[in-house]
Structure 1
């Protein structure tokens, strides 16, 4: 092979390596952002229904009295704990939106803990331009 052909191959591989690096950086950036916004965990389902949030957590084999639920004051995560005999659960679910903790209600049926609450709408303030 001539020197020109080898040089062209090197240039092509360099461009390919740069493209792969850029794609990898974008994937990491997007994934990090997504993971921060929502906890992807088996047995957890987060839904938005209009102004309401619905969080379902699989916790089979418990009774309603076996479960404790905690919501952060600013409404960005829910922690649910439950224990009965050998069964023990601790789930901390970071939400992709904030909820109003004072509106939260919980129900337990067929091994699924369902928590509903009103989503908090972002608030804006006006500032004066000088």
Structure 2
């Protein structure tokens, strides 16, 4: 996508992203979900600001079309935001997940992950 958000089409797609990117923020959403639609533009802004190829990515997983991934992570509410480091689900700022369109908590968690990703990229010689 032009807005730096990776639209996940399959479980293999998601696995590939987790394998190729150190930090991933995943938005589990549904097309019919009002709060999902409300926070989507802000999520895109986070992706524009913080995406860093190989180090930080933002993904959207439609729970209706990529059910296997939603089931694997026990998604029961939309939107739900999960955080991954080196392919494993992690808590950020004490939150294992963010359920609902909680903009401030999502922003703070994404910014923290972005700082860590940028530090890793600089250490690897991949960003300034």
Normalised to the residue count of structure 2, the TM-score between the two structures is: 0.25
Which protein is bigger by CA-based radius of gyration?
1
Normalised to the residue count of structure 1, the TM-score between the two structures is: 0.25
Q: Which structure carries more strand by proportion?
A: 1
* Greater relative contact order structure (CA < 8 Å, 6+ sep): 2
